[in-house]
């Protein structure tokens, strides 16, 4: 069985669960649990926990938007939570909109892509898609995120979202923001923010309008 950084795994012989945060010599992997400690273990002594990183015993709440509420068409974020002193960072895809979204996330390595996540996320819900160790923040991957939006409620047409995204060490200097879906403070990065484009014509008009008048 092949593993990769971020996989949720369970120890075969012990009641321990965590995410792979490093690969070491002699077939040893580092598994970081929720306490933030990285535990070295033989790769043959772990098994992958399949699914979307929510445990089967997690409480499941259906978020069904009411037709009486205003339609929210923007608010899709990557949220990163965790304390640097504790070691473990978790990446969440957070959907604050009224859309159901279909998301795929891949690691980018040059011209190649390796898929790590593909799930449906209901309106006003979130899923965890990756985890990493704060000690390796400079080596955190570059992600390619693609998202389709859909709703049975009337709404304006939307284009697919396709973005490359990477958390850089300098991003973690910024203060965290409280997210009401996660119910915790996270570093938030908006994925559906409209890109500002003043256009070539407006740029030319700007320079012409600011050109000094000839006497």
Looking at residue 22, its pLDDT comes to 85
Give yes or no: residues 96 and 42 share one domain: no
Shared domain check, 172 and 85? yes
pLDDT, position 60 = 46
Residues 179, 100 share a domain: yes
Mean per-residue pLDDT over the chain, rounded? 84
Is residue 103 domain-resident?
A: yes
Q: Answer yes or no: is pLDDT of 178 > 90.
A: yes
Would you tell me how many other CB atoms lie within 10 Å of the CB of residue 70?
A: 8
> What's the CA gap between 10 and 47, in Å, rounded?
5
Q: What is the pLDDT of residues 36-78, one digit of tens each?
A: 788 899 998 898 886 545 544 445 444 555 556 789 999 999 9
Residue pair 167/145 in contact (Cβ under 8 Å)? The answer is no
Number of domains composing the chain: 2
Tally of CB atoms within 10 A around 53? 21
Within 10 A of 120 (CB to CB), how many other CB atoms are there? 14
In a shared domain, residues 81 and 23: no
- The answer on 195 and 126 residing in a single domain is yes
> Same domain, yes or no, for 19 and 110?
no
Q: Cα–Cα distance between 207 and 201 in angstroms, integer?
A: 10
Q: Are residues 119 and 188 in the same domain?
A: yes
Same domain? For 93 and 145 the reply is yes
Supply the pTM of this predicted model.
0.69
The residue-averaged pLDDT of 178-206 equals 81
Q: Would 129 be classed as within a structural domain?
A: yes
State the residue range of the domain holding 43: 8-48
Query: 154 and 89: one domain?
Result: yes
CATH code for the domain in which residue 92 is found? 2.60.40.1600
Place of tokens 């898929």: 115
Q: Phi and psi dihedrals of 172, rounded to 5? A: -80, 0
pLDDT at position 57? 46
Q: Judge if 40 and 136 occupy the same domain.
A: no
- For residues 141 and 108, the answer to whether their CB atoms sit within 8 Å is yes
Residue 157 has a pLDDT of 92
- Indicate whether 165 pLDDT > 70: yes
The radius of gyration computed from the CA coordinates of the chain, to the nearest angstrom, equals: 21
Q: How confident is the model at residue 3 (pLDDT cuts 50, 70, 90)?
A: confident
Sheet holding 125-133, edge to edge: 125-133, 88-95, 76-81, 184-190, 177-179
Q: Are residues 43 and 81 in the same domain?
A: no
Give 7 or 123, the one with higher predicted confidence.
123
Same domain, 82 and 155: yes
- Quick one: pLDDT at residue 195? 72
């Amino acid at each position: 069985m092949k593993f990769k950084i971020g996989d949720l795994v369970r120890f075969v012989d012990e009641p321990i669960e965590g995410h792979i945060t490093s690969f070491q010599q002699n077939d040893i992997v580092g598994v970081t649990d929720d306490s933030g400690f990285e535990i070295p273990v033989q790769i043959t002594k772990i098994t992958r926990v399949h699914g979307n990183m929510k445990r089967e015993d997690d409480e499941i709440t259906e978020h069904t938007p009411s037709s009486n509420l205003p339609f929210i068409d923007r608010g899709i974020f990557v949220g990163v939570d965790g304390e640097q002193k504790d070691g473990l960072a978790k990446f969440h895809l957070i959907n604050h909109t009224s859309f159901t979204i279909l998301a795929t996330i891949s690691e980018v390595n040059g011209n190649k892509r390796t898929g790590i996540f593909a799930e449906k996320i209901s309106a006003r819900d979130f899923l965890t898609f990756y985890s990493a160790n704060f000690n390796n923040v400079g080596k955190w991957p570059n992600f390619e995120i693609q998202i389709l939006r859909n709703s049975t409620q009337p709404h304006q047409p939307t284009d697919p979202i396709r973005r490359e995204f990477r958390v850089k060490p300098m991003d973690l200097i910024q203060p965290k923001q409280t997210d009401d879906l996660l119910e915790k403070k996270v570093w938030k990065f908006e994925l559906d923010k409209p890109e500002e484009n003043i256009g070539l014509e407006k740029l030319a008009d700007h320079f012409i309008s600011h050109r000094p008048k000839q006497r």
